[in-house]
Structure 1
Amino acid sequence: MGDAQKKLQELSDEYQKLQGELSTSVEAREKLESQQQENTTVKKEFDLLADDANIYKQIGPVLLKQDKTEAVMAVNGRLEFIEKEIKRFENQIKDTQEKSEKVKMDIIQIQTQAQQAQTATAAA
């Protein structure tokens, strides 16, 4: 019975670790989705501007004039990067959920076996 208890504790610790990883990944994805929304809004604003419009980029406390095509390319590049990162985190979340579910099933299996052994011992 001691081995089953030890294995159960190990699986429980692993399950908690996976849940922590899952939480961290979900938070990171949410942050990326927020950044994606901000950059999409900026892109829409750029679409409304004339080609010769003045665009300024803040670098520290200074505003520097920037070419519209350069600014649009920078925003498009950021959006592309953010989309790739979101996909990466979604895959990571999916993998962690699958691992977590497997560990959960192992825990249930060990608990069921322990209960059956306990019932058999009590009946004997």
Structure 2
Amino acid sequence: MDSIPPKVQNQLAMLQQMQQQLQTIVSQKAQYEMTVREAKRAVEDLGDVAEDANVYMSVGTVMMQQSKEKVLASLNEKIENLELRIKSLEKQEKTLQGRFEQLSAQVKGALEGQQPPGAS
């Protein structure tokens, strides 16, 4: 590591940071996608429920009786908000992935340019 120039060492540190950020984004996106799937399943299940049936919704740590219409509206709003967040995370992921690949190529080029001739 001593033979690597400080600039390249900084770039390697940045690559590690970017990789961690990418992992965080991918993890958040997966969580949101799972929540969207669950909410969509709940909407489907509510389609089979009679309009006047007792429907309960979790509000914090309490279950409250709500109209089917209110629960559906709440679920659909939740789905919409999460899908917007997912799109935002996808944009961030794409941008960060591009920067990561660009910086990775720079570091690779710098390291390859440092190797003595004939070394691989």
The answer, yes or no, to whether TM exceeds 0.5 is yes
> After the TM superposition, which residues 1-124 of structure 1 pair with which residues of structure 2 at under 5 Å, given as runs?
5-60=5-60, 62-115=62-115, 118-119=116-117
Length-normalised TM-score, structure 2: 0.89
Looking at structure 2, the residues matched to 60 and 11 of structure 1 have their Cα atoms a distance apart, in angstroms, of 44
Looking at structure 1, the residues matched to 61 and 103 of structure 2 have their Cα atoms a distance apart, in angstroms, of 51
Question: Displacement of 1:60 after TM fit?
Answer: 4.8
Length-normalised TM-score, structure 1: 0.86
Deviations 1:65-107 (A, max 9, x none): 1011111100000000111111111111111110100110000
**Percent identity, aligned pairs only?**
25
Q: Considering only aligned residues, what root-mean-square deviation do their CA atoms show, in Å? A: 2.0
The structure, 1 or 2, with the larger RCO (C-alpha pairs under 8 Å, 6+ apart) is 1
Residues 75 and 95 of structure 1: CA distance in aligned 2, closer, same or farther (over 3 Å): same
Unpaired runs of 5+ residues, structure 1, are 120-124
Looking at structure 1, the residues matched to 7 and 58 of structure 2 have their Cα atoms a distance apart, in angstroms, of 55
Residues 20 and 61 of structure 1: CA distance in aligned 2, closer, same or farther (over 3 Å): closer
Looking at structure 2, the residues matched to 48 and 102 of structure 1 have their Cα atoms a distance apart, in angstroms, of 51
Unpaired runs of 5+ residues, structure 2, are none
SS of 2:5's partner is helix
Query: Match of 1:32, as an amino acid?
Result: Y
Please tell me whether Structure 1 or Structure 2 has the larger radius of gyration of its CA atoms.
1
Deviations 1:22-47 (A, max 9, x none): 00000000100110111011000111
Q: Which has the higher helix share?
A: 1
